[in-house]
C-alpha cells in the first residue's frame, strides 16, 4: 500500500490554518479557567492558581495531517491540585474522533 501525501498549496494552507486555530484554542482554555480564580488569593495575597509551564509537546493527527500542540499546566499554591484538562486536546487522545470515524 502506497502512502499518498498531499502537498498542494491549498492543503498546506489548510494545515497551517488548522495548526493556528488549535494553538489559539489551546491557549484560550486555560485563560478561561484562570479567570475563575482572579478574585481568589492565598493568605499572603498571592494568586491562588497559577500557570505552571506546559505539558510536553505532542502530535495529534487530524483530518488535515499532524498538528503539534503544547497544553498549559495550572497549579494551586495552596497544596490542592488544580485539574486542568483541555477539551480541544484531551489527554491520551492522539487523533481526532472524525479521523477515527473515517478509518474503516
**CA-based radius of gyration for the chain:** 18
The residue ranges of every structural domain in the chain are: 9-102
Q: Are 47 and 37 in contact (CB under 8 A)?
A: yes
pLDDT category at 5 given cuts 50, 70, 90 is: low
pTM score: 0.61
Which has more confidence, 32 or 15?
A: 32
Within 8 A by CB and 6+ apart from 73, the residues are 51, 52, 53, 54, 55, 84
Residue pLDDT, tens place only, 35-86: 988 888 888 888 888 888 888 888 877 777 777 788 888 888 887 766 777 8
pLDDT tens profile 88-102: 777 766 555 554 444
Q: Shortest CA distance to 6 belongs to which of 69, 67, 63?
A: 63
Amino acid at each position: 500500500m502506497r502512502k499518498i501525501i498531499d502537498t498542494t498549496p491549498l492543503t498546506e494552507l489548510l494545515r497551517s490554518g488548522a495548526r493556528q486555530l488549535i494553538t489559539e484554542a489551546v491557549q484560550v482554555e486555560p485563560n478561561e479557567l484562570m479567570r475563575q480564580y482572579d478574585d481568589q488569593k492565598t493568605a499572603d495575597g498571592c494568586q491562588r492558581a497559577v500557570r505552571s509551564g506546559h505539558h510536553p509537546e505532542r502530535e495529534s493527527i487530524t483530518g488535515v495531517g499532524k498538528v503539534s500542540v503544547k497544553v498549559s499546566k495550572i497549579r494551586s499554591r495552596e497544596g490542592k491540585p488544580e485539574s486542568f484538562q483541555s477539551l480541544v486536546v484531551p489527554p491520551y487522545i492522539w487523533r481526532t474522533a472524525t479521523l477515527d470515524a473515517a478509518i474503516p
